[in-house]
């Protein structure tokens, strides 16, 4: 893993969240938390979040 992951942007694993078409209208927002790669003892995964209005 490169110390400066922003410069190389390789070795990154983007996690996924899957929803059924029934919930598409409930999707309020989504985010890719790329800054998590800067946390101490981080992994090569990039967390993702969604907010649903249920």
Q: Tell me whether strands 48-52 and 27-32 are parallel, antiparallel or unpaired.
A: antiparallel
**For the segment 2-54, what is each residue's pLDDT rounded down to a tens digit?**
566 667 666 667 788 999 999 999 999 999 888 887 788 777 778 899 999 99
The pTM score is: 0.60
Contact by Cβ (8 Å): 7, 25: no
Among 20, 18, 16, 12, which residue's Cα sits nearest to residue 37? 12
pLDDT for residue 2:
58
* Domain boundaries, given as residue ranges, for the chain: 5-52
How far is Cα 35 from Cα 49, in angstroms, rounded to an integer? 13
């Amino acid at each position: 893993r490169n110390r400066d992951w922003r410069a190389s942007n390789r070795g990154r694993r983007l996690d996924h969240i899957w929803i059924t078409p029934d919930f598409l209208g409930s999707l309020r927002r989504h985010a890719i938390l790329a800054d998590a790669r800067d946390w101490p003892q981080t992994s090569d995964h990039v967390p993702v979040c969604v907010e649903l209005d249920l």
